Copies of this chain bind each other. A is one copy, B any other.
Amino acid sequence: MKYDKAAEIFTSFLKSGKNRITPERFEVMDAALDYDGHFGADDLYIVMKNLNSRVSRATVYKTLELLVQCELLSKRNFGENITRYESNYKRQSHDHLICMDCGRIVEFVNQKVKKLPEEISQELEFEVSSYSFNIFARCKNIKTCKYYHGK
């Protein structure tokens, strides 16, 4: 199995609640971890459909939420009112810069950003759960933008 470690995490998460272990859930997990980059629930559903999966849209939507709960996926929103997901599996945590000229989403890792949520939450007497930090910016010239590789 390609994602045996992830399957183990997912299985023990499912067992810890009143959730059942079903083949459909693992089919969604595999497809989600296989997906390269950020995806909407429906994007994943289409990909699975094209691979002749018989898993329904409803199951895809529900399973993605479970995968977020057990932290195999992150939930993102880049200001378009669409929920996007991204695999956390074997990846380091990061944040995003969204280019308003060429549409690219650039990932970056910044230690100062990572420390702030904890610091601020403590000051306000909360316990951090997660955070989201997005920068909206412009590359000014698509032609010379080093992150742009074709439309």
Interface residue count on the A side (C-beta < 8 Å): 38
Neighbouring B residues of A147 by C-beta, 8 Å: 124
- Cβ-neighbour of A134 out of B100, B123, B132 (below 8 A): B132
Number of copies: 2
Given A99-B126, A132-B134; 17 other pairs, CB 8 A cutoff? A77-B77, A77-B79, A97-B126, A100-B129, A108-B120, A117-B137, A121-B135, A121-B137, A125-B146, A126-B135, A126-B137, A127-B140, A128-B135, A128-B137, A131-B136, A132-B136, A133-B133
* Interface residues, chain A, with chain B CB atoms under 8 Å away: 75, 77, 79, 81-83, 97, 99-100, 106, 108, 110, 112-113, 116-117, 120-121, 123-140, 146-147
